[in-house]
Structure 1
């Protein structure tokens, strides 16, 4: 199984001509009866060996973390980060294995952050005293997240794994939220301020994802993979705060008005997903709309079958949307102004090959 970035790499290496690569893309699109740009493809597993190596890498990383923890709390994360980088030199840089590369990126960034956390656990009391204020804690979290973002930047420059950009962006978002919370003092008891900040950060990540998408409308290069992971990061950062702010996450039951609002928001997310040709928003909001629909069916008296009816309605709707995704997307994009539509991923595969980056 080959990704678009692999195909473009073959073109860059002069193994395939641009015309041959484009003909191959057109053939695959005709076989699938779907334009390649609408497939939202990304490389995850190239074979079972990816899973095998990933499991082995996780076992090794757990072992080195355990050994480091027995020496010093900070060394657990340091050993993980160092080992993940070393493994990436072979499995990412030389073997180009997809799933192990993702695991190693996450292990590296998590290890960097865990190193600083471990140091604070061991020495924080001596440095800051017995009682660390919330402001100081927020500043420390922001500083550690910023260092983690810097480390992921070096990882990106070395290995160019698409998910690395999302990991670094998440660290930067955490830095921004932590510093704002430190500057504004104690957050509200109901968590409104943190949720608003996460929502704003999520919108910023979404804008960054659209910038990457705009640079590769035909989704033929690594830039599209970077955008995919950024959209996957942005979606929960947008979805969860919105539904938290309207009260969906605060109790076991919501009124019919709130339930209808959740459904309306989900429809709006669906229109956005169609326009940008990314499904992350729909997946992230799925649990909330299932809960809201269950409440609606219960309100209308279908108590015994409310869960089954909800699953039937939502499952059927999503399958129909998937089956007619291209048609629905063409209709939605057709309603947009031409200058905006031209910034979105192409609805047909009519863009000349682009160099990989």
Structure 2
């Protein structure tokens, strides 16, 4: 079965033109749409490419050893910043082979993250300390990841660039208006909602989850989830050490709302991001009532059972939720099966 990476490789090799590849994708999308309307269909498991084989793991280990060695040697003869920038440059060079030519999934993700992280940290060492320097470093990283995306089309590149851009914008706002530092949770929520909207935009262009656009949306959802969930739950004082019944009930209601949103968009990242807060809130409640030794075990039993039940009946639950959505909105979401 052909996938988007195979077509991209064929285009790079000159076997197909871009127009022919686009027409072939359109043809396959039409056939997939027809199959999706059939009565029987396999549930959507939110697939994304991570490992194509053990060779991916082997290559990542080798790349890690090489990059650590380069950073160490350059830092020893020059500076830590120079070592980090050199590591970023070598990561790009390795991507020219393992990403652009070999299309290895896990090494591509690893090399992109190494490229972006080392560039951010390395450029920050050459800039003034403080918020201003971090803002410039974030802007450089965001621009570099955009060029990386244009060159290699690694799905996580968009999320990495968005993350750098979000950090840079928040830092710039705090630098311009210092009073906003007290409103960081609200800034994070606003940034998370913006990334979430971008993820939904990518998702809406591939509701059948058949192309790399769905992978881009997956990583964006993974970035948006903690940006939205973390400030909401920390504002409630979840880690205050006191597990009250009212606080736990609030957490449960919020998690139920998150679950409904996750069902509607057919993405589980929001639920995973909020899971730690739910576990902590219920464990604290059990401890309040004197069940210190088995509080976490009881919480894991209840929450784990509920999540497994939801997983088993995910598509049926989605169908029940989508029933209340207008047709215009349902057309932008993955179809229920």
Please report the RMSD computed on the Cα atoms of aligned residues, expressed in angstroms: 2.7
Q: Which has the higher contact order (CA 8 A, sep 6+)?
A: 1
Alpha-carbon contact 1:101-1:161 (below 8 Å) kept: yes
| Stretch deviating more after TM superposition (302-311 or 258-267) | 302-311
Equivalents in 2 of 1:165, 1:210: separation in Å? 13
Equivalents in 2 of 1:339, 1:98: separation in Å? 35
Equivalents in 2 of 1:157, 1:303: separation in Å? 53
| Residue equivalent to 2:243 | 254
Deviation at 1:74, TM superposition (A): 2.1
| Residue equivalent to 1:352 | none
| Residue equivalent to 1:90 | 97
When residues 65 and 30 of structure 1 are mapped into structure 2, their CA distance, relative to the original with a 3 A threshold, is farther
Alpha-carbon contact 1:256-1:295 (below 8 Å) kept: no
| Residue equivalent to 2:267 | 278
Deviation at 1:331, TM superposition (A): 0.6
| Residue equivalent to 1:5 | 4
Matches within 5 A, 1:1-357: 5-6=4-5, 12=21, 18=27, 22=31, 34-35=42-43, 38-70=44-76, 71-120=78-127, 124=128, 137-185=130-178, 192-249=182-239, 251-348=240-337
Equivalents in 2 of 1:245, 1:20: separation in Å? 44
Equivalents in 2 of 1:187, 1:115: separation in Å? 27
How many residue pairs get aligned? The number is 325
Secondary structure, counterpart of 1:177 in structure 2: helix
Deviation at 1:263, TM superposition (A): 1.0
Secondary structure, counterpart of 1:43 in structure 2: coil
Alpha-carbon contact 2:241-2:284 (below 8 Å) kept: no
Deviation at 1:6, TM superposition (A): 4.3
Structure 2: runs of 5+ lacking an equivalent: 11-19
Structure 1: runs of 5+ lacking an equivalent: 125-131, 349-357
Following TM superposition, the consecutive aligned residue runs of length 4 or more in structure 1 with deviations greater than 3 angstroms are 2-23, 298-304
When residues 260 and 270 of structure 1 are mapped into structure 2, their CA distance, relative to the original with a 3 A threshold, is same
Equivalents in 1 of 2:28, 2:201: separation in Å? 27
Equivalents in 1 of 2:3, 2:103: separation in Å? 14
Deviation at 1:21, TM superposition (A): 9.8
